[in-house]
Amino acid sequence: MTQHAEAAPRLTRRQRRRLILGGEYGIFIIAVVLAASLADWGALKTNFAEWRVAKTVFPDIITVGLRNTLLFTVTGFGLGLITGLVLALMRLSSVPPYRWFALAYIEVFRGLPALLIFIFMGTGIPLAFPGTNLPGGVYGTAAVALGAVSAAYMAETIRAGIQAVPRGQMEAARTLGMSQGRAMRSIIIPQALRIVIPPLTSELVLLFKDSSLVLFLGITLEQRELAKFAQDAASQQGNTTPIIVAAICYLLITIPLSHLARRLEARQKRGQR
Amino acid sequence: MTTVNDSAAVQVIELYKAFGDLEVLRGIDFEVRRGEVVCVIGPSGSGKSTLLRCVNLLEEPTEGNVYVGGVELTDPDVDIDAARRRIGMVFQQFNLFPHLSVLANVTIAQRKVLRRPAVEADRIARENLARVGLADKVDAYPAQLSGGQQQRVAIARALAMGPEVMLFDEPTSALDPELVGDVLGVMRKLALDGMTMLVVTHEMSFAREVADRVVFMDGGVIVEEGPPSKVIGDPAHERTRRFLSRVLDPAAAEIED
């Protein structure tokens, strides 16, 4: 026994841990019960989870809404990836004007709300250059707008990826007689792209959500993507259920993608190639 | 002044290299004859790696000339990529391409630079991998190999280009002690085959047995050079003696002020 004089019996470490854990669970349960008792379940059900309404949006919400969302995302991502790669190489160029242009582009497009760029693309471009038509109509314009925004973010990611490739790789390639450009194409960029796959997957998730901004380009019924489709259906039916259906569609894509990004990142941390 | 010697494999004339205010090379003159094996030794910071990297212009000399096989690499109008094809280099950190298999590491420059057909590049790669004792590792990836195996692949990769000169920059310094022997064995065989080699190394036994000539550098200049029996066996300069005693018997070295 020690000499410590203790007035009250102290808790052991195990007792204290149980007490804290019990308290934390208790607060959680009280909060859930409180929220559940305050909610009007009947109203919630008829407004957000009306099966009859949900059935009316199928299959169009998939064949039109989700299909267009995916189409906008994929074309925008493809265009953004190529533009981003070019911008990243310009950022690393030894020619100062290239660096300045890339930096200016990145700062402008990352600094503006994507919404503003879509409004500009939808109304500004036709006003400024009457008669110009991007190939693919709204689909082309959407790809350009989404690509323009995502390129700015991807450029910075890819630049970091290129710089993360060890200097010795370039030296080894040059020593074998490769030109700077050849070494970039065959040795540096393939490794850099591997490094940036996880962050680019996250970028794809962001783009998938941002594709809803396409509605600001002025689209026809056939060109509606998920969000717009759900909004129209909701106001038509006077019921919010289509929004919930659209939300579930989004999550069915974004959650597996985010999960994939995390797994790729974890795999890279372990150093497997 | 030294004159240009067309028969030399490598010739370095009045070479200076400074990084900002730091003068790393302060007037280097030396040459490597065809078929000769020259080892460069010296304390760290003596400029020996920088000298090697100047020979294929990975570092641009501040002043002076470098000739390899009669071509001046320091000429601003030289086709540097063409010149480097004739100079193989092996790095301390191997620098294999991690995204490519062993075979692809050895074929990629043959295909993209020399434009060899796939079948020929493949055959030459396999020949050179067999030469370094790794014929069975063609499908492995660098990360699956030991350091010694990676360094031997790096040697095969350089040899596949058919170089006239091979540069080795401390090729065994990053290896576990038990793996050093395999790499030195490959290098010894290469020397016996008549390859012209310029080797920066701390392996005194290798320098003593394999080198035709040893160059001792300190403070950015060549202090002495000659056959290994002379430079390592019976050095003329105090600096060389002090360096050798520290390298050959590190435990006995005294702490200097």
A191 and B89 within 8 Å at the Cβ level: the answer is no
β-bridge partners, A134: none
Q: Is the pLDDT of residue A133 over 80?
A: no
Q: Is the pLDDT of residue A8 over 50?
A: yes
**Residue A3: per-residue pLDDT:** 56
In 3D, which of B214, B121, B105, B65 has the Cα closest to residue A176? B105
β-bridge partners, B32: B10
Chain B residues with CB inside 8 Å of A177's CB? 81-82, 84-85, 109, 113-114, 161
ipTM: 0.92
Find the mean pLDDT for residues B62-71.
92
Helices (H), B56-213: 80-85, 102-112, 118-131, 147-159, 177-192, 204-210
Sequence ranges of the domains in chain A: 59-272
Pick A137 or A162 by higher pLDDT.
A162
Return the amino acid letter for A208.
Answer: F
Q: Are A238 and A262 in contact (CB under 8 A)?
A: no
Q: Is the pLDDT of residue A2 over 60?
A: no
Residue from A167, A169, A175, A195 whose CB has the most chain B CBs within 10 Å, to mutate: A175
A186 and B85 within 8 Å at the Cβ level: the answer is no
Computed from CA positions of residues A28, A33, A38, A40, in that sequence, does the dihedral angle turn out positive or negative?
Answer: positive
Computed from CA positions of residues A250, A251, A255, A256, in that sequence, does the dihedral angle turn out positive or negative?
Answer: negative
Q: Is the pLDDT of residue A207 over 70?
A: yes
**CA–CA separation, B140 and A194 (whole Å):** 19
Helix (H) or strand (E) holding A194: helix A189-210
Q: Compute the nearest-CA separation of A269 from chain B (Å).
A: 14
**Residue B90: per-residue pLDDT:** 97
φ and ψ at residue A215, rounded to 5 degrees: -60, -20
End-to-end CA distance of chain B: 38
Find the mean pLDDT for residues B77-104.
94
pLDDT, tens only, A42-101: 887 777 777 777 777 778 888 888 888 899 999 999 999 999 999 999 999 999 999 999
Find the mean pLDDT for residues B56-61.
93
pLDDT, tens only, B7-35: 789 999 999 999 999 999 999 999 999 99
Q: Judge if the upstream peptide bond of residue B228 is cis by omega within 30 degrees of 0.
A: no
∠ CA B170-B173-B177, nearest 5°, is: 140
Structure tokens that stand for B5 in this block: 């010697």
Residue A149 Cα distances to A136, A143, B37, angstroms: 19, 10, 58
pLDDT, tens only, B218-240: 999 999 999 999 999 999 999 99
Where b means 16+ CB within 10 Å and e means fewer, A82-105 reads ebbbebbbbbbeeeeebeeebeeb
Instruction: Please write down the long-range contacts of B241-248, taking CB distance under 8 Å and 24 or more positions apart.
Output: B243/B41, B243/B42, B243/B43, B243/B216, B243/B218, B244/B204, B247/B41, B247/B202, B247/B204, B248/B204
Q: Is the pLDDT of residue A270 over 70?
A: no
Strands of B63-68's sheet in order across: B22-33, B8-19, B63-68, B71-72
Q: Compute the nearest-CA separation of B208 from chain A (Å).
A: 28
Q: Is the pLDDT of residue A273 over 50?
A: no
**Residue A272: per-residue pLDDT:** 47
Structure tokens that stand for B151 in this block: 């360094």
Which residues 6+ apart lie within 8 Å of A229 measured at CB?
A57, A60, A61, A64, A65, A242, A246
DSSP string computed for B74-115: TSTTS-HHHHHHTEEEE-TT----TTS-HHHHHHHHHHHTS-
**Residue B110: per-residue pLDDT:** 95
**Residue A6: per-residue pLDDT:** 57
**Residue B158: per-residue pLDDT:** 96
Residue B45 Cα distances to A114, A142, B66, B140, B198, angstroms: 53, 58, 21, 36, 18
What is the percent of chain A with per-residue pLDDT over 90, rounded to a whole number? 42
**CA–CA separation, B224 and A255 (whole Å):** 68
A273 and B143 within 8 Å at the Cβ level: the answer is yes
pLDDT, tens only, A224-248: 888 888 888 888 888 888 888 889 8
pLDDT band at A5 (very low <50, low <70, confident <90, very high): low
Q: Compute the nearest-CA separation of B10 from chain A (Å).
A: 16
CATH topology for A59-272 is MetI-like fold (1.10.3720)
Structure tokens that stand for A194 in this block: 């591997």
pLDDT, tens only, B133-165: 999 999 999 999 999 999 999 999 999 999 999
Number of CB pairs, chain A paired with chain B, less than 8 A apart: 66
**CA–CA separation, A138 and A142 (whole Å):** 6
Name, of A7-11, A200-204, B53-57, the range with top average pLDDT: B53-57
∠ CA B127-B135-B129, nearest 5°, is: 45
Find the mean pLDDT for residues A191-199.
90
pLDDT, tens only, A170-193: 999 999 999 999 999 999 999 998
**CA–CA separation, B239 and B236 (whole Å):** 9
Return the minimum-mean-pLDDT range out of A115-124, B51-60, B119-128: A115-124
Average pLDDT, chain B: 92
What is the percent of chain A with per-residue pLDDT over 70, rounded to a whole number? 93
**Residue A60: per-residue pLDDT:** 80
Q: Is the pLDDT of residue A102 over 80?
A: yes
pLDDT, tens only, B157-189: 999 999 999 999 999 999 999 999 999 999 999
Q: Which chain A residue has its CA at the smallest distance from B82's CA?
A: A177
